[in-house]
Structures are given as structure tokens and as C-alpha cells.
């Protein structure tokens, strides 16, 4: 790996804005690092699309991120991590990490009673990947996955504190409550946003795992272990760069509300060309 | 137009399955005609994407449909009709019609008190196209548009008869009720599905306009007027052909539930190549 420039940016991608929760953790935990973010806003959502399509989209995005000379790539989307991580890791000469391994490991360490729940998109849950990774770590664990397809549109409509979101979330979570889980993985980057609703419905005794935090930790260790941590004090200019495939202005204002500093510019590209 | 083969199929496209309600009307009203349907399931939904992106997608789809030698194209998606019809009409050497003009005309004829409501996607409503077309037909008409972004995901989750859909629809429609409209355009191909909920919330005195029906009528007249009506008794084999950009099997079962006859096969193509 010695030909990788350690002062190059980290590439982060998602189907849209959700991965900004992962970018935020990276910025918090590694304030010296540079970052290139891509959100595939022209083709979102990924959660209801097929494995083959999500792999193809992820491969295009990785080709784009490589044109930005990134030193490592974070697949900050649970669905893309579930479906495409293996395929893109295989093709890549730089480190690629997803959000699932870190979240699964934390949940396995956190559980006391061995019963873990996961909520995510149809794609993430039907892939069975969280269960697979958790069972590799601890074979006798009991894992229950529940797809929550309406949570993302409800969050995107701003209905975070609303009786309708309460009702829908309550229906989704009732099955998990019936299984007496003590740990719940928020397996979609949007779900930290309605966290307080999920917390109230699940009760104080259930540990909520947010893979964004754990993924940033894993990335930090990976960079340190590969001598890819950047030098401190790099120029601030162009430190964080944002690209989308559609609706750049809308992204800019959303990103500003999520990240610790103002996002000045988002550039739009045609991802189909990559 | 004499070089167009009148026995060629009609091309119909939508972002997904919604346009099947238009295809169904065409099949009912013109049982002799052949049809090629394309649903852009790899990139749906269109309703929350930008004008430029929806135009680019529509142009790709029209290039694909032309490879199938269609004699006319129906843009069976309100958002694509709102954003892209003008651009694709300009480029096309065969007739192209959208769903908006027919729906707008019917609503203008139906209203008694001159107050019309339209519900649709964010794209359709923010384009202002329904209002523009209606005011051209009758300048003193009062038009109120209301974007209903959650209706499509609720319908797609099968919550047609559910308290949550009632609650969300009631919020969306309350503004229109406050305007005392007597005519409501169902300006998204998904909305005929929760029609009974909309009917109950709006009351019996409001006329509901479904552009699918009117669009098929307009197409029939257009074909007749251009001597493009097909000969009766063409071979049944391959009469109706279905293409999508993702999830062909899921589309096949949905299409079978919507259309008057069983859909045997849906073929998947990579629309980005067009």
C-alpha cells in the first residue's frame, strides 16, 4: 500500500444524504482528514432495488471516487454495504469498508441476553448479511431483522415527531419487542434521525447501536494500521468536497444542517458516465 | 407521417408500475393495438428528482422505445409529462403525448364552480403545468395544487385501507377542501389505487378526474386522425411487451394484477446504455 498517498482524501458514498451521518462521525473523530462525499440523488433510494443494480451503481461510484484520488472508500449506505461490499472490495486496490461489520461487532459485544434486532431497508434485511456476520462472531446469537420501508420517506418528509411516524414505527418494532431483544442495530443511515421515537418505543433497557460511529472508529484504526493517517495541518481549502448526481442545492442545505460546518458548494455530476 | 407503420406497437413509459393504469385503459379502449411498456424501476421515483434529470431519463427511454419501432409514445407518468414532454416532443418524429393535457381538459369541462384541485408529486405540482394548461383553456379558473409525497410509498407498501393512509391523505386534502373545489385531478398514476379513500375524504360532490382514461381517449383520436390505427386481427403473439430497468419478476406479478390478462414475461434492460 505504500504507493497510496496518505494525504489523499477519504471517499464516502451513499444513495443520498443518509451517509452524511457517517461523514459527520469521520469529521469528528479525524478532524485532520480530507473527505470526498458522493450522494446518488438521481437514482435513490437503493433500499428497494435489486442486488445486481446496487452493485452496478456502487461500482460506478467507486470509479468516480477514484478519479478524485481517494486513499480509502467508506460505503456509508447499509444497502450498498449489504449487497455490493464484497464485489467492490474484490475490484479495489485501496481499502474499502462498509457500515455493517462495525455495527454487527458492536451489537454482538453489547448484548447480554444474546438476542439482537436489526432494522433496515428491504435490501439490507433480505440480504441476511447482519445475521451472517453476527453468527460468525458468536454462533449461538439470535438475530431478528425487520425491514422498515416507510421510515425513510417519513423522515424525509420531516415527520420526525409525528403521530403517524409513531404509529408506523410501533408496528415495525412490535415484532422485535416480542422477541425480547436487548440490542437494536439502526441498520439504515436515516434511522439515527428518529432515534428518540425508537428509544421511547423500545424502552430504556434496549441498547441502540448506530453503525456510523463504529464505522468511523474502524476507519481510524484501518488508516493508522496501514500508515495512511494524514499529516496534521493540511490546507483547509477544499478539505471537504461534495458531489451528487441530482439536486445539488437541496443537498447543500441538508448537509449544512447535519455537518459541523457550513457546506459551501455541492457539484453535480452524471454518474452514468463512470 | 406516412412512413410510420400503423401496425407498429404503441410505446408507453413510466418511472415504474404506475403507468400500467394508463396501459390498461389503452388495452381496454383499443384492444387491437400492440403495446411496448417500459418501467424505469432502477431509477424510480421521478417525483422527487429535478427537471433536468427527468428530461435526461425520458430521452433515454424514448431512444430505447424507438429501437422497438413504436409508432407513437405515451408518457404515462405525470412527473415526466410535466417536466419532459416539451423536450421529447421537440426531438421526436413520431407523435408523443403526455397525461396532463387530457386530464386538465377534462377537469376544466367538469368543474361547475371554477375551482379545481390537483394532487401529484412534488415535481408535478412545482412545475405548475396543470395550472398553466387549465388557465390556457379557461383563464378565470382557480387551481390549487397539492404535492402528496407520502401517498406513493404508502400505496406501494399495500396500505390502501389503513388508518395511517387515511390520516396522511386527510392532511393533504384538507387544504383542497378548504378551497371548496368541485373537481380533483388525480395527478399521479398511483392515485387511482387509493381512490376510495380520496372519494370518502373529499365527499360525493367532488368529481375525481383520472387522466389515464382521458389519455387513452386522446391517443385513440390521435391515431385515428393520423391514420395510424392498426389493422384488426394482428397476430396475438408478442402483442404486449414489457421492459424494466430492474426487478423484472416483481414487475411481472404486479402487472398481472393490474392488467386484464396475465403478463408472461418482463425483460430487464440497462437503460443507461441508451
pLDDT in tens, B197-256: 999 999 999 999 999 999 999 999 999 999 999 999 898 889 999 999 999 999 999 999
Taking an 8 Å cut-off on Cβ atoms, the answer to whether A150 and B167 are in contact is no
Mean pLDDT of B138-152: 97
Is A196 inside any structural domain? yes
Same domain, B83 and B219: yes
Confidence bin at A1 (pLDDT 50/70/90)? very low
Same domain, B104 and B207: yes
Mean pLDDT of B139-143: 97
Q: Which of A149, A157, A168 sits opposite B164 (nearest CB)?
A: A168
Smallest CA–CA distance from B248 into chain A, residue: A50
Q: Which three cell numbers stand for residue A246?
A: 441530482
Distance CA B220, CA B33 (A): 10
Is B20 inside any structural domain? yes
Residue that has been written with the C-alpha cell 458468536 in this structure: A138
Mean pLDDT of B99-106: 96
Same domain, A247 and A205: no
Is B3 inside any structural domain? no
Please choose, from the candidates B248, A67, A49, the residue with its C-alpha nearest in 3D space to the C-alpha of residue A57.
Answer: A49
Residues of B with CB under 8 A from a CB of A: 41-43, 49-50, 52-53, 56, 149-150, 153-154, 156-157, 163-164, 167-168, 245-247, 272
Interface probe, candidates B41, B47, B50, chain A, greatest A C-beta count within 10 A? B50
What distance separates the 2 farthest-apart alpha carbons in chain B? 54
Contacts of A145 (CB under 8 A, 6+ apart): A117, A118, A119, A120, A124, A125, A128, A130, A131, A187
- Min Cα–Cα distance to chain A from B56, Å: 10
Looking at residue B265, what is its pLDDT?
A: 96
For chain B, give the mean pLDDT: 95
Is A4 inside any structural domain? no
**Residue B67: is its pLDDT beyond 90?**
yes
Q: Which of B41, B157, B164 sits opposite A164 (nearest CB)?
A: B164
Please choose, from the candidates A198, A215, A189, A186, the residue with its C-alpha nearest in 3D space to the C-alpha of residue A98.
Answer: A215
- Active site amino acids of B: 77, 188
**Residue B17: is its pLDDT beyond 80?**
yes
User: What CATH code is carried by the domain that includes residue B139?
Assistant: 3.40.50.1860
Same domain, B170 and B207: yes
Number of other CB atoms surrounding residue A69 within 10 Å: 13
- Min Cα–Cα distance to chain B from A2, Å: 37
Distance CA A157, CA A169 (A): 15
Summarize chain B as % helix, strand, coil (round to 5): 45, 15, 40
DSSP assignment letter at A222: H
Provide the number of structural domains found in chain A.
2
Mean pLDDT of B32-48: 97
Same domain, A106 and A229: no
Q: For residue A164, which residues of chain B lie inside 8 Å, CB to CB?
A: 164, 167-168
Q: Domain end: A211, A238, A263, which one?
A: A211
Q: What burial letters (b/e) apply to B123-141, b meaning 16+ CB within 10 Å?
A: bbbebebbbebbbeebeeb
Same domain, B54 and B138: no
Mean pLDDT of A167-181: 97
Cis peptide before B45 (omega within 30 of 0): yes
Q: For residue A168, which residues of chain B lie inside 8 Å, CB to CB?
A: 164
- Domain boundaries, position B219: 10-98+213-273
Same domain, A136 and A178: yes
Task: Give the tens place of pLDDT for each residue, B228-240.
Answer: 999 998 988 899 9
Report H helices in chain B: 20-29, 51-67, 78-91, 100-110, 122-127, 129-137, 151-156, 163-178, 195-202, 211-225, 248-258
Is B4 inside any structural domain? no
Percent of all residues in chain B with a pLDDT value above 70, rounded to a whole number: 99
Q: Which three cell numbers stand for residue A259?
A: 455537518
Is B1 inside any structural domain? no
Q: Which three cell numbers stand for residue B186?
A: 388525480
Distance CA A222, CA A219 (A): 5
Looking at residue A156, what is its pLDDT?
A: 87
Residues of A with CB under 8 A from a CB of B: 41-43, 49-50, 52-53, 149-150, 153-154, 156-157, 163-164, 167-168, 245-247, 270, 272
Alpha carbon A78 to its chain centroid, in Å, reads 5
Dihedral of the alpha carbons of B151, B156, B159, B165, in degrees to the nearest 10: -10
Q: Domain end: A185, A211, A237, which one?
A: A211
**Residue B2: is its pLDDT beyond 80?**
no
Looking at residue B156, what is its pLDDT?
A: 87
Q: Is the distance from CB of B21 to CB of B258 less than 8 angstroms? A: yes
Taking an 8 Å cut-off on Cβ atoms, the answer to whether B149 and A153 are in contact is yes
Number of other CB atoms surrounding residue A72 within 10 Å: 24
Report H helices in chain A: 20-29, 51-67, 78-91, 100-110, 122-127, 129-137, 151-156, 163-178, 195-202, 211-225, 248-258
Q: Which of A53, A150, A246 sits opposite B153 (nearest CB)?
A: A150
Same domain, A117 and A190: yes
Looking at residue A3, what is its pLDDT?
A: 81
Same domain, B192 and B236: no
Query: Which helix (DSSP H) or strand (DSSP E) does residue B188 occupy?
Result: none
Q: Domain end: A211, A240, A261, which one?
A: A211
Looking at residue B1, what is its pLDDT?
A: 46
Same domain, B113 and B206: yes
Taking an 8 Å cut-off on Cβ atoms, the answer to whether A168 and B168 are in contact is no
Distance CA B147, CA A67 (A): 39
Strand partners, A243: A38, A267
Is B260 inside any structural domain? yes
Same domain, A73 and A201: no
Distance CA B225, CA B229 (A): 9
Using alpha carbons only, give the angle A92, A94, A95 rounded to the nearest 5 degrees: 100
Is A117 inside any structural domain? yes
Same domain, A155 and A196: yes
DSSP string, A35-64: EEEEE-TTT---TTS-HHHHHHHHHHHHHH
Distance CA B218, CA B241 (A): 22
**Residue A223: is its pLDDT beyond 90?**
yes
Distance CA A113, CA A131 (A): 16
For chain A, give the mean pLDDT: 95
- Active site amino acids of A: 77, 188
Task: Give the tens place of pLDDT for each residue, A33-75.
Answer: 999 999 999 999 999 999 999 999 999 999 999 999 999 999 9
Query: Which helix (DSSP H) or strand (DSSP E) does residue B73 occupy?
Result: strand B72-75
**Residue A88: is its pLDDT beyond 80?**
yes
**Residue A96: is its pLDDT beyond 50?**
yes
Using alpha carbons only, give the angle B106, B16, A244 rounded to the nearest 5 degrees: 110
Percent of all residues in chain A with a pLDDT value above 90, rounded to a whole number: 93
Task: Give the tens place of pLDDT for each residue, A129-152.
Answer: 999 999 999 999 999 999 999 999
Q: For residue A246, which residues of chain B lie inside 8 Å, CB to CB?
A: 49-50, 52-53
Interface probe, candidates A44, A48, A63, A271, chain B, greatest B C-beta count within 10 A? A48
Amino acid at each position: 500500500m505504500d504507493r497510496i498517498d496518505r494525504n489523499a482524501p477519504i471517499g464516502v458514498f451513499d444513495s443520498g444524504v443518509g451517509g452524511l451521518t457517517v461523514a459527520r462521525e469521520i469529521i469528528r473523530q479525524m478532524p485532520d482528514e480530507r473527505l470526498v462525499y458522493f450522494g446518488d440523488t438521481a437514482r435513490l433510494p437503493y433500499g428497494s432495488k435489486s442486488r445486481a443494480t446496487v452493485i452496478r451503481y456502487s461500482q460506478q461510484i467507486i470509479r468516480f471516487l477514484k478519479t478524485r484520488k481517494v486513499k480509502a472508500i467508506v460505503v456509508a449506505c447499509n444497502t450498498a454495504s449489504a449487497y455490493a461490499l464484497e464485489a467492490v472490495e474484490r475490484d479495489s486496490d485501496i481499502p474499502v469498508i462498509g457500515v455493517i461489520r462495525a455495527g454487527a461487532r458492536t451489537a454482538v459485544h453489547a448484548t447480554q441476553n444474546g438476542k439482537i434486532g436489526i432494522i433496515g431497508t428491504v435490501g439490507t434485511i433480505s440480504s441476511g448479511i447482519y445475521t451472517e456476520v453476527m453468527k460468525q462472531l458468536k454462533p449461538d446469537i439470535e438475530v431478528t431483522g425487520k425491514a422498515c420501508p416507510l421510515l425513510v420517506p417519513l423522515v424525509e418528509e420531516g415527520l420526525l415527531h409525528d403521530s403517524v411516524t409513531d404509529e408506523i414505527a410501533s408496528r415495525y418494532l412490535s415484532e422485535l419487542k416480542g422477541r425480547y431483544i436487548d440490542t437494536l442495530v439502526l441498520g439504515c443511515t436515516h434511522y439515527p434521525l428518529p432515534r428518540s421515537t425508537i428509544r421511547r418505543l423500545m424502552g430504556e433497557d434496549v441498547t441502540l447501536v448506530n453503525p456510523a460511529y463504529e464505522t468511523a472508529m474502524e476507519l481510524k484504526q484501518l488508516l493508522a494500521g496501514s500508515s495512511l493517517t494524514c499529516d496534521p495541518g493540511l490546507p483547509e481549502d477544499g478539505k471537504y468536497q461534495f458531489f451528487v448526481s441530482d439536486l445539488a442545492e437541496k443537498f447543500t442545505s441538508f448537509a449544512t444542517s447535519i455537518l459541523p460546518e457550513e457546506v459551501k458548494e455541492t457539484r453535480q455530476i452524471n454518474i452514468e458516465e463512470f
